[in-house]
Amino acid sequence: MSERVEVFFGRDEVYLRGLHSIERAVAQDKTVLDRLVIGKVVLEHLPNLQELRIVSSPQLLRKLVQDPDLEAYVLSFEQLEESSTQQE
C-alpha cells in the first residue's frame, strides 16, 4: 500500500485567488487591467486611485499583450543583455 504525499503551497493559493478575482473584474470592465498596471495595486483600491485621477499607465498593457510580435519583443531584452555582457 503506497502512501500519497501532498505538498501545499499557500502562496500559490493566494496568487490563484488573485488571478481569478482579476479575471472576473476584467470580464466586467476591460479597463481594470490597464488601471492595475500603474503599480502594486489591489482591486479594492482602484476607486480611490480614480478619485486621485490615477487611472492608467502610460503604456497600455492590453496593447502590449495583443501585439503579435510580443515574443520577439521579450526576446530582444535577452539579446540586449547578452550583447551588453559581451561588451564588458
Could you say which DSSP state residue 3 is in? P
What backbone torsions phi and psi does residue 4 show, to the nearest 5 degrees?
-95, 125
* DSSP three-state, residue 68: coil
Instruction: Give the pTM.
Output: 0.53
Q: Number of C-alpha atoms within 13 angstroms, CB side, residue 17?
A: 7
pLDDT tens, position by position, for the chain (88 residues)?
667 777 778 888 889 999 999 999 999 998 888 888 788 888 999 999 889 988 876 666 667 778 899 889 888 888 777 776 666 6
